[in-house]
Amino acid sequence: MSVQTENQPYEMLSIGSEAADQLFFEARSANSFSDEPVSEEVLEAIYETMKMGPTLMNNQPMRITWVKTTDARQKISETMAGTNAQKALSAPALAILSFDTEWHEEFEAFFPHAPERKAMFDDQGVRAAVGNNNAWLQAGYFIMAVRAVGLAAGPMGGFDSSAVDAIVNTDGRNKSFLIVNVGKPGDDAWFDRLPRHTAEFATRTI
Ligand SMILES: Cc1cc2nc3c(=O)[nH]c(=O)nc-3n(C[C@H](O)[C@H](O)[C@H](O)COP(=O)(O)O)c2cc1C
């Protein structure tokens, strides 16, 4: 069997079972949200927490656009496929995650002990690949930070990124890659948990 859902090694974790449940075992991708607003302080706490996750040479290429007004959420929802629009409209806050294609411009600030290594990213193709990969890594930290403040995240890749960029990234520099609905879960927020690969299937030791 390659999939399994119930195997929770609480006794091996050095965080408490409550924290482990909140971050991993009971955390779910929400499909509907309550209309309870999410404060600016909470959004800031999410950023301050996620930003500590490691990235290549500390490059931190991800940028966040928080979308809270009804008008703005409506506009963004029109770029979405299928039921995603309805999910986005139900969430009190959306986070449009983008990556900065010119992230290397801050190199001296985020890697001050070896600024000469900025030259490794002179090539636009290398820079875009590294920026995109590390922004995705930060997106994972972002989802965990949403969970850490006690909210649910609903990540969605099903949207037209060019259309979103035409609304929020008009200077052409930042490129959207994921939208995450953020808030307290609403009615019938969860589908059944889908199976996860077993360790036997997905890992090996050499
Ligand atoms: C990168 C990414 C893109 C996703 N895109 C969508 C999407 O467009 N629409 C949607 O309803 N769910 C989307 N999901 C949600 C996944 O289907 C969900 O996270 C997965 O099935 C696990 O669900 P669980 O966290 O409740 O166990 C996406 C998740 C991720 C991480």
Q: How many domains does the chain have?
A: 1
Q: Look at residue 24 and tell me whether its pLDDT is greater than 70.
A: yes
Please tell me the residue having the least CA distance from ligand 1 atom 31. Answer: 155
**Phi and psi torsions of 183, nearest 5°:** 165, -170
Q: Would you say 103 and 127 are in contact if contact means Cβ atoms under 8 Å apart?
A: yes
Q: What's the pLDDT at 67?
A: 98
Asked whether residue 4 is assigned to any structural domain, the reply reads no
Asked whether residue 138 is assigned to any structural domain, the reply reads yes
Asked whether residue 106 is assigned to any structural domain, the reply reads yes
Question: Which whole number is the average pLDDT over 114-130?
Answer: 97
What is the SS3 assignment for 152? strand
Q: DSSP class of residue 91?
A: -
Q: Look at residue 1 and tell me whether its pLDDT is greater than 70.
A: no
Q: Look at residue 152 and tell me whether its pLDDT is greater than 90.
A: yes
pTM given for the model = 0.97
Please indicate whether residue 164, judged by its CB atom, sits closer than 6 Å to ligand 1: no
Q: What's the pLDDT at 7?
A: 81
Asked whether residue 18 is assigned to any structural domain, the reply reads no
Asked whether residue 180 is assigned to any structural domain, the reply reads yes
Structural domain harbouring 114: 29-189
Q: Residue 53: which pLDDT band, with cuts at 50, 70 and 90?
A: very high
Question: Which whole number is the average pLDDT over 58-75?
Answer: 97
Encoding tokens for residue 138?
A: 């930060």
What is the SS3 assignment for 140? helix
Asked whether residue 197 is assigned to any structural domain, the reply reads no
Q: Would you say 36 and 183 are in contact if contact means Cβ atoms under 8 Å apart?
A: yes
Torsion from C-alpha of 167, 169, 172, 175, nearest 10 degrees: -110
Asked whether residue 196 is assigned to any structural domain, the reply reads no
CA distance 124 to 105: 12
**How far, in Å, is the centroid of ligand 1 from the Cα of 202?**
20
Neighbour count for residue 91 (Cβ, 10 Å): 30
Asked whether residue 78 is assigned to any structural domain, the reply reads yes
**How far, in Å, is the centroid of ligand 1 from the Cα of 108?**
36
- The CATH number that applies at residue 104 is 3.40.109.10
**Phi and psi torsions of 63, nearest 5°:** -125, 145
CA distance 102 to 105: 6
Question: Which atom of ligand 1 has the smallest separation from the CA of 83?
Answer: 11
